Amino acid sequence: MPENSVPTARTRVVREPHRGVYDRATAYQILDEGFVCQIGFAVDGQPFVIPTGYGRAGDNLYVHGSVASRMLRNLSQGVPVCLTVTLLDGLVLARSIFNHSMNYRSVVVLGTAVAVTDPQEKTQALRAISEHILPGRWLESRQPNEKELKATAVMRLPITEFSSKVREGPPIDDEEDYEFPTWAGVIPLQMVAGQPIPDQRLDPSRPVPEYAQQYFRQR
């Protein structure tokens, strides 16, 4: 697929258009750093927005869940979806309350998700989701058995129609407010992993794997 996305009428950033970014490298960086996506769809005129984990393999996103899931039952029927991921990087404190903001990076992907029916692709998709969250864990865990695979639905969403939006930098105040006597600036935010906590039934001689001990989310 082309490296840059030509924004459509649906994906072009209208509010603060200078923050719109349409290249795949930026979108994929945001998608690869995030943990949870929000999937919006409508059933009989009722909108739903469901948070779920996901994984990316090339130019496709994968989500999974129970075959009984209302979301996945409807997605398998070809319902149009809107998938979003947002990363919060900082709180922006301006002099004016009106100009307070947040530094963030977000992606919107529009399209139609399809059910993954090929057993090999289904397993690879589940691996992509696992490795997206915790690289290295898949090979050290018990693999899904036939019963678990039958109970799990996997959907593929091609990353075709998408856009990113990024806000970074200091507060932007009205010129007359720069002399207002209050602190202004940015409070950076980041996700930091804590010390791994072993399961109570874990063999105490079992060491913490390096990917858990040294876990971090690279930007």
Instruction: Confirm whether 7 is domain-assigned.
Output: no
- Asked whether residue 189 is domain-assigned, the answer is no
The answer to whether residue 206 is domain-embedded is no
Q: Is residue 195, in this structure, part of any structural domain at all?
A: no
Q: Which of 33, 25, 35 is nearest to 5 (CA)?
A: 25
Tokens representing 36? Answer: 């949870």
* Cut 0.95: pTM above it: no
Close Cβ partners of 124 (under 8 Å, ≥ 6 residues apart): 57
3-state secondary structure of 183: coil
Residue 24 confidence (pLDDT): 96
Give a yes or no: residue 150 inside a domain. yes
Has residue 39 been placed in a domain?
yes
Q: Which domain holds residue 59?
A: 17-90+100-170
pLDDT at 202 over 80: yes
Interval 47-85: pLDDT, tens: 999 999 999 999 999 999 888 887 887 777 778 999 999
CATH number at residue 72: 2.30.110.10
Distance CA 6, CA 159 (A): 13
- With a pLDDT cut of 90, the percent of the chain lying above it is 81
For residue 48, is it within any domain? yes
Question: pLDDT class for 135, splitting at 50, 70, 90?
Answer: very high
- In what helix (H) or strand (E) does residue 29 lie, and over which residues does it extend? helix 24-33
pLDDT in tens, 136-188: 999 999 999 999 999 999 999 999 999 999 999 999 999 999 999 999 999 99
Mean pLDDT of 189-218: 93
Number of domains within the chain: 1
Q: To 10 degrees, the CA torsion angle through 117, 123, 127, 130?
A: 70
Both tokens assigned to 162: 């998408």
Report pLDDT digits (tens) over 23-50.
Answer: 999 999 999 999 999 999 988 889 999 9
Q: Is the pLDDT of residue 1 over 60?
A: no
pLDDT of the residue at 44 = 86
- The answer to whether residue 187 is domain-embedded is no
